[in-house]
Amino acid sequence: MPSHSRTNASEPLFLFSAQTNRAKRRARGPKETAAMGSDFNGTSASDSFVKTPTIKFTQLFINGEFLDSVSGKTFETIDPRTGDVITRVAEGDKEDVDLAVKAARAAFDHGPWPRLPGAERGRIMMKFADLIDKHAEELAILDTVDAGKLFSVGKTMDIPQVAEMLRYYAGAADKIHGEVLKMSRELHGYTLLEPIGVVGLIVPWNFPSTLLFGKVSPALAAGCTMVIKPAEQTPLSALYYAHLAKLAGVPDGVLNVITGFGKTAGAAISYHMDIDKVSFTGSTEVGREVMQAAAKSNLKTVSLELGGKSPLVIFDDADINMAADLALLGILYNKGEICVASSRVYVQEGIYDEFVKKLQEKAKDWVVGDPFDPNVRQGPQVDKKQFERILSYIEHGKKEGATLLTGGKPVGNKGYYIEPTIFTDVKDDMLIAQDEIFGPVMALMKFKTIEEAIQRANNTKYGLAAGIITKDLNVANTVSRSIRAGIIWINCYFAFDRDCPYGGYKMSGFGRDFGMQGLYHYLHTKSVVTPLFNSPWL
């Protein structure tokens, strides 16, 4: 969820086209590395281009304070570049969630945040965004050492765009209005839009900053208070953001962070009777559990952004060079750890053979390695579990009879690196064509007609995204209206924008992030009706 350095508010949040997939990178010199600031402890990770940061925040953040967990437990967070322990982080559980919810409930029921004028909430959010810009390098480093994300992309794109997301919703905070109703009888009616209350925000590990602020920003603008659970694999940046929120003037209790595990802390948030809404991004399997918990507790509102198995459909008239670039980018960006990855690529038979050759050539130039190296395009998978899961799917694909065109093996003997992997001769019912692998594994298939392409693109339980590459506007319009997915990209991929609603069909979930629809998820509509003077109302 990447041209390089698009931070102007009027520019797309994320955009990949054939022209933006090659960055102008330069190696960082030793003097520049040494001058990166006081937040570095002077010790270098093995083979790393950037020094390891001092980890400042490892405790839970509740009611404006960093605290140990009630149990005193901690857990390790691991550097996927090496498999080494970065630090130990407080392990929150039900008792800690209770404390955080109590603080958030008090801040909502009695505190200033929901009662502030929208412009004042917006002013504090703007200051929060400025602080994120100021500390962009530190935050990008934390996401690199915790998640294996490319440092160059984090510093120039992910973190600046987090700040822009905050500014976008800060600008909306004083524009939350109901409407006057034209009633059918002698009644005066109007609606109010009010913050939904205390919200639980459960965030995945693949985009620990971007996806966090896709939830935090509209929730803050609406006047909600919140309990955040970052993924156990990537807790570090969320805690740093909590520190910056306090510096910006976000009142105590409004933003709380509980680090811990899904089966304990995440479940406690989903079941909690004093949480009014849960927004979850993650796997479809866990999304089911969140819904069940909400139903069994207080019927809290739920929004879910879940898995995907997105098709990229390439027609005979496509520019083959551009199509190959987009196909590779669509599956290899962020190591394939992206819910909208174009993991199923359908190529029309007239250009199929030429496309395969071009794809194979380009895959050889895709550099895998240390995500701090500015020449690298793919870092390590997030952890050992995900690394082994991807490799098991690769083995399964070979056993099912698919042909391994490129890759398929680990890279190096340290860390969780996997070669870019492309399978041909894939059939739609194979596991690698049906399951979300969440790694750098492409299933490449051939088709004949538009009708066949549409039918096969829809042959999945998911419906998150799809891509179409063609020069024919009629084909583009026909296919985009026929594929059942929440977002369709034509002659581009990953073309996200903070103004554009984003979410899924089918088992990819429901509800929308981004845009004004993303804000409305955190608001209730209240209707107010009074009879007009001396008018009958029954």
Least confident of 29-33, 288-292, 392-396: 29-33
Own/partner pairs, 420-428, CB within 8 angstroms, 24+ separation: 420/328, 420/331, 420/332, 420/363, 420/366, 420/368, 420/378, 421/394, 422/359, 422/360, 422/363, 423/397, 424/356, 425/401, 426/397, 426/402, 427/400, 427/401, 427/402, 428/456, 428/459
pLDDT tens digits, 18-52: 333 333 333 333 222 222 222 322 233 444 566 66
Q: Known catalytic residues?
A: 305
pLDDT (tens digit per residue) in 351-393: 999 999 999 999 999 999 999 999 999 999 999 999 999 999 9
Q: What is the rounded average pLDDT for all residues in the chain? A: 91
Does the pLDDT of residue 281 top 80, yes or no? yes
pLDDT of residue 50: 66
C-beta of residue 222 within 8 angstroms of C-beta of residue 170: no
Q: pLDDT class for 54, splitting at 50, 70, 90?
A: confident
Q: Which of 52-66, 210-224, 272-286 has the lowest mean pLDDT?
A: 52-66
Q: Is it the case that residue 217 has pLDDT exceeding 70? A: yes
User: How far apart are the C-alpha atoms of 499 and 509, rounded to whole Å?
Assistant: 20
Give the span between the Cα atoms of 472 and 167, in whole angstroms. Answer: 38
Beta-ladder partners of 297: none
pLDDT tens-place string over residues 414-448: 999 999 999 999 999 999 999 999 999 999 999 99
Position 3 scores a pLDDT of: 33
pLDDT of residue 165: 98
pLDDT category of residue 53 using cuts at 50, 70 and 90: confident
Q: How confident is the model at residue 537 (pLDDT cuts 50, 70, 90)?
A: low
Q: What is the pTM of this model?
A: 0.90
pLDDT of residue 48: 55
91: amino acid identity, one letter: E
Ranges 13-22, 126-135, 361-370: which has the least confidence: 13-22
The reported pLDDT for the residue numbered 531 is 92
Instruction: Tell me the average pLDDT across 201-225.
Output: 98
Instruction: Give me the mean pLDDT over the 89-98 stretch.
Output: 98
The answer to whether 436 and 343 have CB atoms below 8 angstroms apart is yes
Over residues 276-291, mean pLDDT: 97
Give per-residue pLDDT as tens, 267-276.
Answer: 999 999 999 9
Residue ranges of domains in the chain, CATH in brackets: 59-306+509-523 (3.40.605.10), 311-490 (3.40.309.10)
What is the separation of C-alpha 81 from the centre of its chain, rounded to a whole number of angstroms?
21
**pLDDT tens-place string over residues 327-353:** 999 999 999 999 999 999 999 999 999
What percentage of the chain has pLDDT greater than the value 90? 88
Q: Average of pLDDT values for 110-120? A: 98
Q: What is the mean pLDDT of residues 313-324?
A: 98
Are the beta carbons of 209 and 158 closer than 8 angstroms?
A: yes
Mean pLDDT of 195-210: 98
Tell me the per-residue pLDDT of 137-178, one tens digit each, with 9 for 90 and over: 999 999 999 999 999 999 999 999 999 999 999 999 999 999
Task: Provide the b/e sequence for 233-260 (b: ≥16 CB within 10 Å).
Answer: bbbbbbbbbbbbbbebebbbbbbbbbbb
Contact by Cβ (8 Å): 169, 14: no
Nearest C-alpha neighbor of 281 from the set 76, 436, 494, 512: 512
Q: Which residues pair with 313 in a beta bridge?
A: 346, 468
The pLDDT tens digits for 455-485 are: 999 999 999 999 999 999 999 999 999 999 9
